[in-house]
C-alpha cells in the first residue's frame, strides 16, 4: 500500500530538516530559540514561553512550518533572519525535562550554550514586564535548571516573561499551572509582540558580532 499523503508530507519535512541541518555550510549565524513550557497545556502561565515562540513564528512567517523532530522530542520551525538562521523549538517533554530537548537540538545543529536563547515565565516580575538576562542561575525555575544541567552551562541568554507571584506561597504551583484570567489575556497580545521585538532586536545585534575596539 502506498504511503498516505500525511506520511509523505512527514517524510518530506524530515528530509528537508536533515538538509537544513547537515547541508554544506550556510552563510550567516545560526541561533536556537527555545520556548520552555509543558506540552499540551497552552494558555497556562508556565507555558508563556511557548506562546512567545508561537508569536515569533507568526512574525517570521513560519507559523505553518512546525514539524515534530523525534531526535530531540520537540516541534521545530526554521526561519531566516537577515543573514542569520533561527531554529525555533517547543519541547514535547514536561518542563522539568525541557533541557533534554534543548540540549539534543543544540547538539544536532552544532550550537554552543551561548547560541541558545531560552524564553520562560518569571514569577518575580509582574505580568507585562520583560527582561533579557545573559546567563546566570536558574533562580528556582525547573525548566531553566534542566537546561543548565543538560547543556552543562548557564551561559544561555534568557528572555524572562513576568507572570506575577501570588501573595500566598502555597498558591504558587496552582498559579503557574493555571490559565491566564480574562483580564490577563487582554494584556497578552501586546506583551507577546514586545517579547518578540526584544528577542529579534537582540539576536540581530548578536548576529552582527562585537563592535571593533578603538
User: What CATH number should be reported for the domain holding residue 74?
Assistant: 3.40.50.1470
Residue 14 lies in a domain: no
| Residue listed under C-alpha cell 540540549 | 103
Q: Is 175 a catalytic residue?
A: no
Residue 110 lies in a domain: yes
Q: Which of 46, 120, 175, 202 is catalytic?
A: 46
Residue 180 lies in a domain: yes
Residue 176 lies in a domain: yes
Residue 19 lies in a domain: no
Collapse the DSSP code of 176 into the 3-class scheme (helix H, G, I; strand E, B; otherwise coil) and give the result: helix
For residue 210, what pLDDT is reported?
A: 53
Residue 147 lies in a domain: yes
Residue 24 lies in a domain: no
Cα 211 from Cα 125, distance rounded (Å): 32
Give residues with Cβ within 8 angstroms of 200, minimum separation 6: 56, 59, 81
Cα 128 from Cα 126, distance rounded (Å): 6
Residues in the chain: 214
pTM of the model: 0.86
Which residues form the domain of 174?
Answer: 30-207
| Residue listed under C-alpha cell 520556548 | 35
Residue 196 lies in a domain: yes
Instruction: Choose between 25 and 7: higher pLDDT.
Output: 25
What's the domain count of the chain? 1
For residue 209, what pLDDT is reported?
A: 64
Neighbours of 171 (CB within 10 A): 12
Amino acid at each position: 500500500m502506498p504511503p498516505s499523503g500525511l506520511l509523505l508530507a512527514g517524510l518530506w519535512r524530515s528530509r528537508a530538516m536533515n538538509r537544513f541541518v547537515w547541508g554544506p555550510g550556510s552563510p550567516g549565524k545560526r541561533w536556537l530559540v527555545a520556548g520552555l513550557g509543558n506540552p499540551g497545556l497552552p494558555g497556562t502561565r508556565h507555558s508563556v514561553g511557548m506562546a512567545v515562540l508561537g508569536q515569533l513564528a507568526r512574525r517570521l512567517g513560519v507559523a505553518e512550518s512546525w514539524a515534530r523532530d523525534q531526535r530531540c522530542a520537540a516541534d521545530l520551525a526554521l526561519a531566516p533572519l537577515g543573514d542569520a538562521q533561527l531554529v525555533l523549538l517547543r519541547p514535547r517533554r514536561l518542563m522539568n525535562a525541557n533541557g533534554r530537548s534543548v540540549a539534543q537540538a543544540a547538539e544536532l545543529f552544532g550550537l554552543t550554550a551561548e547560541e541558545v536563547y531560552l524564553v520562560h515565565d518569571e514569577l518575580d516580575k509582574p505580568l507585562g514586564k520583560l527582561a533579557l538576562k545573559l546567563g546566570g542561575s536558574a533562580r528556582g525555575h525547573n525548566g531553566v535548571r534542566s537546561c543548565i544541567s543538560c547543556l552543562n552551562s548557564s551561559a544561555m541568554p534568557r528572555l524572562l516573561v513576568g507572570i506575577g507571584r501570588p501573595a500566598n506561597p502555597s498558591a504558587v504551583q496552582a498559579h503557574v499551572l493555571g490559565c491566564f484570567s480574562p483580564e490577563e489575556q487582554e494584556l497578552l497580545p501586546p506583551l507577546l509582540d514586545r517579547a518578540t521585538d526584544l528577542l529579534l532586536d537582540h539576536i540581530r545585534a548578536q548576529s552582527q558580532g562585537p563592535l571593533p575596539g578603538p
